[in-house]
Amino acid sequence: MNSNFNPNEEYDLNISFFEWLFESNNIKLHCEEDPVPIVKKNLIYYPQELKNFFETLPMQRLKKVLQLGKFIDNNSNSLHTRYEHSLGVYNLKRQIILHQFANNPEFKKYVEQNNLKLNLVAELIKSAGHDIGHLPLSHALELSVIQKPGFHEEIGKRILLENEQIQSCLSDISPKLPQVLQDTLENNYFGFKLLDEGNYDIDRFDYLYRDLAFNGKPEYKDFEPFKLLKDKNANSAFIPVFDISSIDSIEEFLNLRVQAYKDFYFHPITEIRDKSVALVINEALKNNEPNGTNLQQFLVTLKNIHSANDVNLDEWLSWNDLRFYDELLNIAEFSENKALQRAAIFSVPGLDQLLDISAKMLNLKNSSNQLTPNEKTFLKRLHKYITEKNDFTKALSDFNYWDKCIKYTTNPQKIKKLQTSSNLPVEFYTHTLVGYNPKEPIFFQAEDGKIYTYDAIPNRTQKISSDKMTLDIAFCFLPFLEEHNQSNVEINSMLNEEKQSTFGIPYFNRPSPAGTYIENTMKKMDEER
């Protein structure tokens, strides 16, 4: 939206918007360029009041949680974080509200007459903080370990509404804002609900184009403009209505999203890498593994609690990718259970990827950056892996380690046979996709002025189906097969698909400067002692 402004015009418009929104003539406006690799610049504007929110510890933690988790082993350029995605979603919500401010007098009048400016501020904070509850590999852990799918969503709301630093930041904007944020999380004043979570929403829009861009398929497009029209069903004051001229672009997005889930997010390689972590943790728990106990105890506690209200938020917020992988590395390096040890090596990123993750998340390029004692200890561990050559570090550096650990198939007939007749330690996963969900309607205004949902537009063939598609996968973790003393003859015959590339253009950013950054940081640490 509003992508045709030149920088000066866009800056001035944002100043006017935030002065109106915060009812202040002393707005300090910040601007940064989105790091997503796309053809055009995408500038993110925010006032000091929102910058303070971005700088809270719960938001900063997201800089140490990868957006695509273990996918970095497929493509080492996938180093973007939940924080970058969160800022991208904030930016889309900012553009949406800015567009209404500049082009929709009725919306502006509605906000002013109903005293809803703070609710718009809350909308921006809600979008920026929509992923604030994510743990590393949240979806896999919630499904397969703690058995509470979507738990991070409930925790995220608690963090926004209970964290003292965030509450202080909100109160500095207005004493009423903490309550207004809670009210905004529960109600749909502006018709934004379908844009936050729907078939065509800003969350999916940002992560789809962002993820593909970081994986060699930069196809970024602007979110389609729309009108906010009065909602006759009174579900909210407004509903977002797209002009019928936008339908081709939106269909292109919906089709790309389905394709990306089939060939990227739910691709067997992606699924197996993510699920392997949960399998290793469950195996460690089953065998009372004495290494990685902090992670095991944390997840067992989550599994046993009854409500998100029982979660210790400080403990939850203490987890990020570096602490998470440090715990898994304890199992991978020191476990005496050889099958579990081999599987754990597979469950952590490869050595080069660990170096890249650490260099980015600890901002080692900035030589003045201050590290915590735990971060320094983790870097010492990685430095040891660089300098010491043994069986463990060789395995951690082995790009062919997949072939020593994994056998899989997506063949429906083989999967059915394995499910009904095999005693082998095979894992099964199923995903269901739908191109367009009628329960989350997209509204279009036709040329005659009438409004239709996408699936009800007359005299037009629907290009995106509402039919469900099922994706199945079966795979075996070979270290656990050997633990069961079972032959791999049937495994080789039934699970025999070749490892394939995922969606986009795989490429590797080698040589990486991460090792040099770590080496320089270690020298600095030695000098400080």
- The pLDDT, as a whole number, for residue 182 is 97
For residue 399, the tally of other CB atoms under 10 A from its CB is 10
For residue 102 the two structure tokens come to 């500049």
- The pLDDT, as a whole number, for residue 289 is 98
Asked if 518 and 358 count as a contact pair (C-beta separation under 8 A), the reply is yes
For residue 293, the tally of other CB atoms under 10 A from its CB is 15
Q: Helix/strand/coil (H, E, C) string of 126-178?
A: HHHCCCCCCCCCHHHHHHHCCCCCCHHHHHHHHHHHHCHHHHHHHHHHCCCHH
- The pLDDT, as a whole number, for residue 221 is 85
Place of tokens 């900035």: 366
* CB-based burial, 83-98: b 16+ in 10 Å, e otherwise: bbbbbbbbbbbbbbbb
Residue 409 CA: distances (Å) to CA of 401, 412, 413, 452 = 18, 8, 10, 42
For residue 469 the two structure tokens come to 């598609």
> Average pLDDT for consecutive 10-residue bins of the chain (529 residues)?
63 97 96 84 94 98 96 88 97 96 93 96 98 95 94 97 98 98 94 95 96 84 91 74 96 95 91 94 97 98 96 98 98 97 96 94 90 95 94 93 93 91 84 95 95 94 92 92 66 85 62 89 86
Could you tell me the pTM of the whole model? Answer: 0.95
- Of the candidates 299, 356, 369, the residue with the CA atom closest to the CA atom of residue 327: 299
- The pLDDT, as a whole number, for residue 491 is 80
Alpha carbons within 13 angstroms on the beta-carbon side of residue 380 total 10
- The pLDDT, as a whole number, for residue 181 is 98
- The pLDDT, as a whole number, for residue 6 is 62
- The pLDDT, as a whole number, for residue 177 is 98
Pairing state between β 406-409 and 426-434: unpaired
Asked if 289 and 340 count as a contact pair (C-beta separation under 8 A), the reply is yes
User: Which residues, listed in sequence order, are joined to residue 444 by a DSSP beta bridge?
Assistant: 242, 452
What is residue 502's three-state secondary structure?
A: coil
- The pLDDT, as a whole number, for residue 39 is 65
- The pLDDT, as a whole number, for residue 2 is 45
